[in-house]
Amino acid sequence: MNDKLKMKILRYAVVAWTMIPFFAAAQKLTFTPQWTPQSQFAGYYAAAEKGFYRQAGLDVDIVHFSTSLNAVEMLKSGVSDIITCNLMEAMKQRDAGLPLVNILQTSMQSSMLIISHTPLDKGWLSLNGKRVGRWRAGYSAIASLVSREQELQIEWVDFLSGINLFMSGAVDATIAMSYNELFSIMETGTNVAENQLIRFADSGYNIPEDGVYVTESFFLKNREAVVRFAEATRKGWLWVKDHPEEATDIVMSVVRKHKIPTNRHHQRMMLAEILRLQCLPGETEPAFTLPEIQWDYLNALLLETGDIHKKIEYRNFIKQ
Amino acid sequence: MKPAFRSFSTKLSLYIICVTGVVFVASFMLFFESAKRVVISEAFSHANSEVAKTSSQIVAALTQVEQSVKNAVLFVESNLARPDSLIVIITNMLQANPLIDGASIAFEPGYYPSKGTYFMPYVHREGMEIRAKILGSVLYDYFYMDWYLIPKLLKQDYWSEPYYDEGGGEMIMTTYTHRLTGADGELYGVVTADVKLDRFTTLVNATKPYARSHTFMLSRNGYYLSHCEPEKVLNETIFSPTVVGEADTMAVYIGRQMMSGAQGIAAWTDKGAPAYVFHAPIHNTRWSIATVIPDSDVLEGLYTMTWTVATAALAGILLLFGFTTIVIRKVSAPLRSFSQSVRMVASGNFDVPLPSVSSKDELGELHHAFQFMQSSLKNYIGELKETTAKKQQIESELQIARTIQMGMVPKIFPPFPKRSDIDLFAVLNPAKEVGGDLYDFFVVDNRLYFTIGDVSGKGVPASLLMAVTRSLFRSASSHIDHPSGIVKSINNSISETNDAGMFVTLFVGIIDLATGHFSYCNAGHNPPVIIVMPGYVNFMELKTNIVVGIFDGYNYEGGECFLNCGDTIFLYTDGVTEAQSRQWKLYGEARLIEALKANAGDDPKTLIHKIIDDVAVHVHDAEPSDDLTILAIQYKAARQRETITIRNRITDIPSLASWIELLAKHWSIGREMEADLQLAVEEAVVNVISYAYPENETGAIDIALEMTDGALIVEITDSGIAFDPTGVPQADVTLPVDERPIGGLGLFLISHVVDSVTYRRQEGKNILEIRMNSRV
């Protein structure tokens, strides 16, 4: 074998190597959003539907949580590779020993609010002595913290989900998401005035929510695929921002497939609110990265609520 | 045949049909409105009863479920001590009540310590079987479920918001919860019954009072529990579309009404079409059902009837139209015969027979009126023919009179073609067939007599006086040689017999064509314009006397002047200066002068035509109000020159003297001027004879006599030695005769009788020129 031939083979080898992503079988990934199908996850559905994952060499299977397992449990059990999770929940899990790492932050603001049957003219103080619904599944720790900080006597009523508890009049107020329950309540023909709401974002607890997470070990083993996933997801969300109606149609097709009782009006409104929450206050473009500047405050808050027991390092948690 | 729509019968029929149509439409609308009210009220009670029936059926079924649970509760309370037997109670309940699909008894956490935190016996149907199991675990944490939590908090029994059954089935369920409370009123558990909604939705969907009506059911939160569009069920509330911004206020209103548990009727728009909504509540569950009925459905019967009636009415109206047309055509048939007869009468056949009408109605009256009109027309046309014939005769006579009148004034131009000293042109345009203007002229003894005049009034009387005046002018001119005399003579003749009080303005002039002497007399006439080249144009300043024909014996005064070669006298009547435009604006003297100035260089004919054109421009299309007459005379006195040649002999002088005498007579030079001329010429010729030629040498002396504009110029030419008689000092007549130097005396004499003497030497000849100006 002469040198010329060697060079030739080497050249072909180099070309073949660079072509690997195109010929190699796409990497399979299982993704689970933290709730039933709705516009909250429009970006992932769009990335799949529009082929952004495929273009990134990924074969993403979107599997929703079952009645027996939630998203975190699905990740733990190895059913899912990638999940979405609320930031506080993710930090809590990490503190509890599940080494989650954030590969993309889709929410920059808190959607949580308290909605009351009667006007809340004195803000949090108006809730003193009132019966207020909160989710049993979590996310409500911050509400409890606020009530402790403000020294309020609130009778918290834990419930599963939905608006029936509030609508039945069994509670005076309830915790709700600005992108979901608020609209559901409005859809019952109830007029909701701004003074019936307390938005956590306006009360100094504007804590980012949804993010995309993998386990640390999965991240180390599949770093490249995870990065491609995050990138394709980001692309999906940006496409949704530019095509809200088409995106709502995609969401509705997923919703119908999963027989989720909802309607397009609701999902369209939810999408608009989700897109708003993706931007920092006063901005119009999504950031997709958790600002490091909030990190110490967040840790302090969770240490205080008892959700975490020691500070989590930003660089260990954020792997973007 | 006339076009159908123009005929009387069709028109009348159309009017009748229109009125009938309006009456029909009005009464039909009245009928329609009241019928509509009746139909709607019937529909309301029908729909209301349908909706009420359905709602009461559902209420009855739900109440039955509530009753079954209450019955079961009695057994539960009495068997609390035997928890494992409880499942039998609810199994029996399911067996007893087919409406109940599942049932449970759920206890507060740790109610039976032996059973742990959760204890919930549960039975449900699976096909024909009833299966039992114990529920309650960390995964089925029933304490936090709506059906448990809400009645517990509310402290009242509760029908849950409907939901899809477990396992993602298509079946919609609702759960009735009955609270189990101890003596202290504290809740220790609940008894529940699950009810499938399919029975109710089938009932609701079957509530269809009209073909296109549909009925829907709402949950207490406004969710559709049943709807003709299945995709809305449990997915959407009646308010959902309005939350995004499509503010359908009707939907919101009806939704709120239904949510409030009210029963009622409201207007709605269902898929763009007007509709009515009838709603009734289901008290047990706080649901509400509503039937939507499109207006068109409610009113369908009414519309069908409306079409039938309208079609019948239209057919009736068409029938009526045909009938009335035929009847009216028959009744009005004589009218057509009348119109034919009248058409014939109109074309001149007055004796055409009228159609016979025997009736005594309006047509009979019309017949009489036509008869009367026929005879009246006949008479009238006869009279008209007569009058027209008379008028035509008068018109032809007037035409003859015009020809005669026009024949009276000289009309051949140029009138004196052989004369080069005068150019003359005249125009007379009467405003009517005959007019009162006149002009005349003629030449006798080298004198031009002319006149221009305007008789007061117009038409035949004026034309007659004009003829008289013209005759008088001719006869007076034959024996009177000055204008004032002629005018006076005419005035006397007319005044004498002027009972009609008419008068004439008259201008009479005489031009001595040899001398340019112009004498005139103006009797109330417009002052003539004198045009002196180059470009001096103005009215003649002259004395104006009173008009002719009023004052017998009036002493008219004349005037005189000399005309120079090329001067033009422009005479006109007031038909020029008083010519009116449509706006009653006069042509005026100023404009006349302007026009004359602009055309001052033209000969009389051209000048007159230009003035007439200018007047025509001013008058435009207005009727001429007065006769228009213009007479323009241009004096062009030819230079008259005669010559004679004599020898330088004293003996030739007498023949020279007699030549001068002859010329003086011919040129009408006055006696005095003739004497002076004789003296001056004789002296000058003697001077030449004496000094021009050497003694005994015969030489010729040429004498030329020239008359120009009344002035005399004598030119004496000899070929003798140069001698300037004007250079010789004039004789000093103060000296004694013998002391005076020779010569000089002749020149003294000459210069005394003539106006100028000049000498020039030209081509070897002595030329002496003597000039005598006019003596007038």
Smallest Cβ distance to A262: which of B161, B235, B239?
B235
B245 and A CB contact within 8 Å: no
Nearest neighbour of B240 by CB, restricted to A167, A170, A263? A263
Per the structure block, which two tokens stand in for B397?
């006579």
pLDDT at B739: 58
- Name every residue whose Cβ is closer than 8 Å to that of residue A69 and which is 6 or more positions away in sequence: A77, A79
| Cα B131 from chain centroid (whole Å) | 100
pLDDT in tens, B281-310: 999 899 999 999 988 888 888 888 889 988
**Sequence-distant (≥ 6) Cβ neighbours of residue B63 within 8 angstroms:** B284
Q: What pLDDT score does B500 carry?
A: 79
Please name the residue of chain B whose CA is at the shortest distance from the CA of residue A134. Answer: B144
Whether B36 has its CB under 8 Å from any CB of chain A: the answer is: no
Gap from B315 CA to chain A (nearest CA, Å): 55
CB contacts, 8 Å: B234 with chain A: 261
| Contact check, Cβ <8 Å, A265/B139 | no
How distant is the Cα of B89 from the closest Cα of chain A, in angstroms?
A: 29
- Which of A205, A201, A195, A199 is closest to A141 using CA atoms? A205
Backbone dihedral angles phi then psi of residue B3, each to the nearest 5 degrees: -60, 145
Q: Which of B70-79, B512-521, B631-640 has the lowest mean pLDDT?
A: B631-640
CA geometry: angle B530, B534, B536, nearest 5 deg: 40
d(CA B159, CA B54): 19
Enumerate the residues of chain B whose CB falls inside 8 A of the CB of residue A160.
141, 144-146
Whose tokens are 């005026």? That residue is B588
Contact indicator for B246, A268 with CB cutoff of 8 Å: no
Residue B239 C-alpha, separation from nearest chain A C-alpha, in angstroms: 5
Q: B218 contacts in A (CB within 8 Å)? A: none
Residue of chain B minimizing CA distance to A183: B243
Task: Provide, as residue numbers in chain A, all residues whose Cβ is less than 8 Å from the Cβ of B240.
Answer: 187, 263, 265-266
Are A216 and B269 spatial neighbours (Cβ–Cβ below 8 Å)? no
Mean pLDDT by 10-residue block, N- to C-terminus, for chain A (320 residues)? 61 54 73 95 96 95 82 91 93 93 95 95 92 84 81 91 93 95 93 93 90 95 95 96 97 92 93 96 91 88 87 90
CATH number (3.90.550.10, 2.40.30.10, 3.30.450.20, 1.10.1240.10) of B79-196 reads 3.30.450.20
User: B47 to chain A, minimum CA–CA distance in Å?
Assistant: 26
| Contact indicator for A261, B234 with CB cutoff of 8 Å | yes
Strand, helix or coil at B572? Answer: strand
Query: Which residues make Cβ contacts (< 8 Å) with residue A143, sequence separation at least 6?
Result: A112, A114, A132, A134, A156, A175, A200
Angstrom CA distances, B58 to A135, B61, B197, stand at 34, 5, 10
Own/partner long-range contacts of B251-255 (Cβ < 8 Å, ≥24 apart): B252/A189, B254/B279, B254/B290, B255/A189, B255/B218, B255/B222
In the numeric block, the tokens 């989710």 are attached to A135
* A261/B232 Cβ within 8 A: no
B239 neighbourhood in chain A, CB within 8 Å: 186-189
* Domain residue ranges of chain B, discontinuous segments joined by +: 79-196, 409-635, 640-772
Q: What is the DSSP letter of B524?
A: B
Name the DSSP letter for residue A63: -
Contact B692, B723 (CB under 8 A): yes
Closest by alpha carbon to B194, among B289, B93, B277, B49? B93
Instruction: Work out how many CB contacts closer than 8 A connect A with B.
Output: 81
CB contact (8 A) between residue A265 and residue B241 = yes
B244–A265 CB contact, under 8 Å: yes
CB atoms within 10 A of CB B17: 17
Q: What is the pLDDT of residue B633?
A: 92
Rounded Cα distance, B611 and B677, in Å: 45
Contact by Cβ (8 Å): B101, B124: yes
φ, ψ (nearest 5 deg) of residue B441: -165, 155
Rounded to 5 degrees, what are φ and ψ at B697? Answer: -95, 125
Q: What angle do CA B462, B632, B539 make, to 5 degrees?
A: 90
For residue B492, give both structure tokens.
């006397």
What's the Cα-to-Cα distance from B658 to each of B652, B663, B667, B769, rounded to whole Å? 11, 9, 14, 20
| Chosen from A68, A262, A265 to mutate, greatest number of chain B CBs within 10 A | A265
Domain spanning B640-772, CATH class: alpha beta
Angle at B425 between CA B423 and CA B428, to 5 degrees: 165
- Kind of pairing, strands A197-199 and A82-86? unpaired
Q: How far is CA B538 from CA B523, B568, B614, in A?
A: 19, 11, 18
Residue B744 has pLDDT above 70, yes or no: no
* Pure H helices in B428-552: 459-479, 483-496
Helix or strand or coil: residue B605? helix
Stronger pLDDT, B733 or B540, i.e. the higher one: B540
Domains in chain A with CATH codes: 26-109+208-317 (3.40.190.10), 115-203 (3.40.190.10)
Neighbour-count burial for B142-172, b at 16+ CB within 10 Å, e otherwise: bbbbbbbbbbbbbeebbbbbbbbbeeeeeeb
| Peptide bond connecting B725 to the previous residue in cis, omega within 30 degrees of 0 | no
Which residues of A fall within a CB distance of 8 Å from B236? 187, 263, 265
Q: B233 CA to chain A: closest CA distance, Å?
A: 8
Q: Is A253 on the interface with B (CB under 8 A)?
A: no
Burial of B686 (0-12, 13-18, 19+ CB in 10 A): middle
Name the residue of chain A whose CA is nearest to B164's CA.
Answer: A261
Question: What pLDDT is stored for residue B188 in this prediction?
Answer: 95
Nearest chain A residue to B286, by CA: A168
- Average pLDDT of chain B to the nearest whole number: 86
Kindly state the greatest CA–CA separation across chain A.
90
Spatial CA neighbour of A136 closest among B578, B479, B145, B444: B145
| Residue in A closest to B219 by C-alpha | A188
Residue of higher predicted confidence among B69 and B560: B69
Residues of B in contact with A69 (CB under 8 A): none
Which residues on A lie below 8 Å from B252 (Cβ)? 189
Cβ of A187 within 8 Å of Cβ of B239? The answer is yes
Q: Which of A196, A200, A187 is nearest to A142 (CA)?
A: A200
Residue B355's pLDDT is 78
What DSSP letter does each residue of A204-268 carry, written as one string?
T-----EEEEEEHHHHHHSHHHHHHHHHHHHHHHHHHHH-HHHHHHHHHHHHHHTT----HHHHH
In the numeric block, which tokens belong to residue A22?
Answer: 């195109």
- Of B203, B211, B379, B162, which Cα lies nearest the Cα of B289? B203
Query: How far from each other are the two terminal CA atoms of chain B, in whole angstroms?
Result: 93
Cβ partners under 8 Å of residue B759, min gap 6? B724, B725, B726, B727, B766, B767, B768, B769
What's the pLDDT tens digit per position in B575-610? 899 888 888 889 999 999 999 998 888 889 999 999
Instruction: Please give the angle made by the CA atoms of A63, A66 and A68, to the nearest 5 degrees.
Output: 150
Q: Most B CBs within 10 Å: which of A38, A140, A161, A164, as the mutation test of the B interface?
A: A164
Residue of A nearest to B167 (CA): A67
Quote the CA–CA distance of B506 and B486 in Å, as a whole number. 11
Residue B356, helix vs strand vs coil: coil
Please list every residue in chain B whose beta carbon sits closer than 8 Å to the beta carbon of residue A188. Answer: 221-222, 237, 239, 259
Q: Which of A131, A187, A271 to mutate to test the interface with B (most CBs of B within 10 A)?
A: A187
Which of B177, B175, B190 is CA-nearest to residue B100?
Answer: B175
Radius of gyration of chain A (CA): 22
Which residues on A lie below 8 Å from B220 (Cβ)?
A: 167
Distance in Å, alpha carbon of A260 to nearest chain B alpha carbon: 8
Specify the higher pLDDT residue, B451 or B351. Answer: B451
Greatest CA span in chain B, whole angstroms?
209
- By CB atoms closer than 10 A (0-12, 13-18, 19+), residue B37 is exposed
Return the CATH fold of B409-635: Phosphatase 2c; domain 1 (3.60.40)
Compute the nearest-CA separation of A111 from chain B (Å).
19
pLDDT of residue A39: 97
Question: Tens digit of pLDDT for each residue in B152-168?
Answer: 999 999 999 999 876 54
Dist. CA A106–CA A175, nearest whole Å: 22
Token pair, residue B542, equals 């002259």
Cβ–Cβ < 8 Å for B277, B43: no
Q: What is the pLDDT of residue B330?
A: 80
Tell me the C-alpha distance between A180 and A213, whole Å: 23
Residue B138 touches chain A, beta carbons under 8 Å: no
- Summarize the confidence of residues B228-241 as an average pLDDT: 90
Amino acid at A147: S
Contacts of B164 in chain A (CB under 8 A): 259, 261
Residue A119: CA atoms inside 13 Å, Cβ hemisphere, count? 5
- Closest residue of chain B to A156, computed from CA coordinates: B153
Taking the CB of residue B613, how many other CB atoms lie within 10 A of it?
Answer: 11
Question: What CA–CA distance (Å, rounded) separates B39 from B421?
Answer: 118
Q: Are B227 and B221 in contact (CB under 8 A)?
A: no
B169-178 pLDDT, tens digit each: 578 999 999 9
Sign of CA dihedral B729, B733, B736, B737: positive
**Distance from C-alpha of B560 to C-alpha of B569, rounded to nearest angstrom:** 13
Nearest-Cα distance to chain B for A175, in Å, is: 15
Radius of gyration of chain B, Cα coordinates, nearest whole angstrom = 69
Tell me the percentage of chain B whose pLDDT exceeds 90.
37
Answer yes or no: is pLDDT of B1 > 50.
no
Question: Cα separations (Å) of B643 from B708, B716, B758, B766?
Answer: 15, 10, 19, 16
